[in-house]
Amino acid sequence: MQDRRSTETVPSIDTADESALESRLQALEAENAQLRQALESRVLIEQAKGCVSARCDVPIDAAFEMIRRMTRSARREIHEFAAEIVANRGHFTAE
C-alpha cells in the first residue's frame, strides 16, 4: 500500500503570498515590540506610584496625579520620570 501523502502535490506559496506573509510578520513583530514597551512602561509607572505614595503618605491615585502634574510641568515623558523615581527610591524632582 502506497502512502497517500507521497502522491499528493503540496501547493507552493507564490511570491505575492510570501511577500504578504512577510509584511504581516513584520507588522506583528512591530506590534509585539510596542506592546512589550508599553507593558514595561506601565510596570515602571505602577512602581513609581507606589514609591510616591509611600514617600508622601498619599493614596495611590493622588500619587499618580502628582507624577502626572510634575511630568507635564517639566515637559517630560511619564515613563522616563517614573524610571527616575523608582531608581531614586521615591526621591524625585520635577525638573
Q: What is the pLDDT of residues 9-45, one digit of tens each?
A: 656 667 878 888 999 999 999 999 999 998 998 999 9
pLDDT of residue 18: 87
Residue with cell 510641568: 73
Q: How many domains does the chain have?
A: 1
pTM: 0.64
The residue segments making up the domain with residue 57 are 25-95
* Burial of 49: CB neighbours in 10 Å, binned 0-12, 13-18, 19+: buried
Whole-angstrom Cα distance, residue 79 to residue 87? 12
> Among 1-5, 24-28, 72-76, which is the least confidently predicted range?
1-5
Return the amino acid letter for 49. Answer: K
Q: What CATH number corresponds to the domain at position 89?
A: 1.10.10.10
> For the chain, what is the mean pLDDT?
86
pLDDT higher than threshold 60 for residue 5: no
pLDDT of residue 17: 86
On whether residue 62 sits in a domain, the answer given is yes
